[in-house]
Structure 1
Amino acid sequence: MKDFTLKIVTPEKVVLTDKVSQVSVTSSTGQITILSNHVPLVSQLAAGEIVVKQQGKEENLMAVFGGFVEVVPGQVIILADRVENVAEIDEDRAEEARKRAEDALQDKKVDSAEFAALTANLEKEMNRLRIVRKYKHKGIRTGKH
C-alpha cells in the first residue's frame, strides 16, 4: 500500500507530520477512511476520532473536536480545533468534567451564550469519554493530565 503525507494542525501547534498508509476521520456526514488514492476532498470534521495507520506500527488514536480535512494527491491535511491523543485522556477526569457540565446545564439561570458554551463543553467531554472507552479494551492506557 502506498503511503501519503498526513499533517494534523491545531491553532496551537503542528500535532503530526508523517508518512501514513491510512487515516480515518469523523466528518459531519460520517466516518471517512482515506487511502493514498483517495479523490480530492474537503470536509468538515465533527467531534469524533482520528485513526492513523502506518506500515509496521501500532494505530495512533486521537480525539478530535471539530475542524476540516483536505485531501489532495499525496497529502491529507487536518486543520483541527483541538486534538488529544487517546493515551493522554484521563477517563476519571473526563467523567468528572462531564458531570460538572451536565450539572451546570441544569442551572436555570444561564443565558444563551453560557448555555452554548456549556453544551459545547459537554459534547467535548462526552466525545473524550466515548473514544477512551472504545479503545480501552485494546490495551491503551489512559494517562493522567
Structure 2
Amino acid sequence: MAEPMSLQIITPDAIVFEGKSTFFVGKAIDGQFGILPNHAPMIIALDLAPLRIDQPDGTSRELAVFGGFCEIEHNKVSIVTPDCQDPSSIDVERARRAKERAEGRLSNPTPDIDVERAEAALQRALLRLHVTKQL
C-alpha cells in the first residue's frame, strides 16, 4: 500500500485540518474528483461542497469547504479556502434558519432582493446541513 499523503486545509483564520490521508474526494468547479497518494502535481479550483477525507486508521470525515484551491505536489496536498467547517462546529438551527430565509427570498423575489446573494446563502446553508447529516 502507498504511503499516505500529507493533507493541510488552511483558512485565513486557522489551519483547520493537518494530517495524513489515504484518499480524499472533493468537488472542483468542473466536477467531482478523487485523489490518491502519489498523484501527479496539479492545482484544482474548488467549488462549494463537502470534502471527504479517508484517514490511514480506516475512518473518514467530511468537512464543508467553501471554495478555494487545492495544490498537489510530492505527496503533499494543501487546500486554501476562505472557509472550512467541521460538522461539530456548525450551528444546525442557524443553518436551518438561513436556509428558510434564502428560500423565502427566492420564492418571492422583489426588486430589492439580490437573487445571486440569496442563492449563494442557500448553497452555504445546504452544505452545512449536508455535512451535519441534517439534510
Query: TM-score if structure 1 supplies the norm length?
Result: 0.79
Q: Does 1:29 align with 2:17?
A: no
Matched, 1:110 2:112: yes
Match in the other structure for 2:124: 124
Partner of 1:64: 65
Q: How many equivalent residue pairs?
A: 133
Runs of at least 4 residues off by over 4 Å? none
Is 1:8 the equivalent of 2:14?
no
User: Which shifted more, 83-92 or 94-103?
Assistant: 83-92
Determine the C-alpha separation between the residues in 2 that align with 1:25 and 1:18: 17
- Offset at 1:117? 2.6
Query: Gaps spanning 5+ residues in structure 1: where?
Result: 137-145
1:37 deviation in Å? 1.5
Answer whether contact 1:25 1:48 (CA < 8 A) is retained: yes
Contact 1:70 1:78 in 2 (8 A): yes
Name the counterpart of 2:78.
77
- How many percent identity over aligned positions? 28
Q: 1:13 to 1:132 in 2, by over 3 A?
A: same
Give the equivalent residue in structure 1 for 2:87.
Answer: 86
> Any unmatched runs of 5+ in structure 2?
none
Report the RMSD for the aligned CA atoms in angstroms. Answer: 2.1
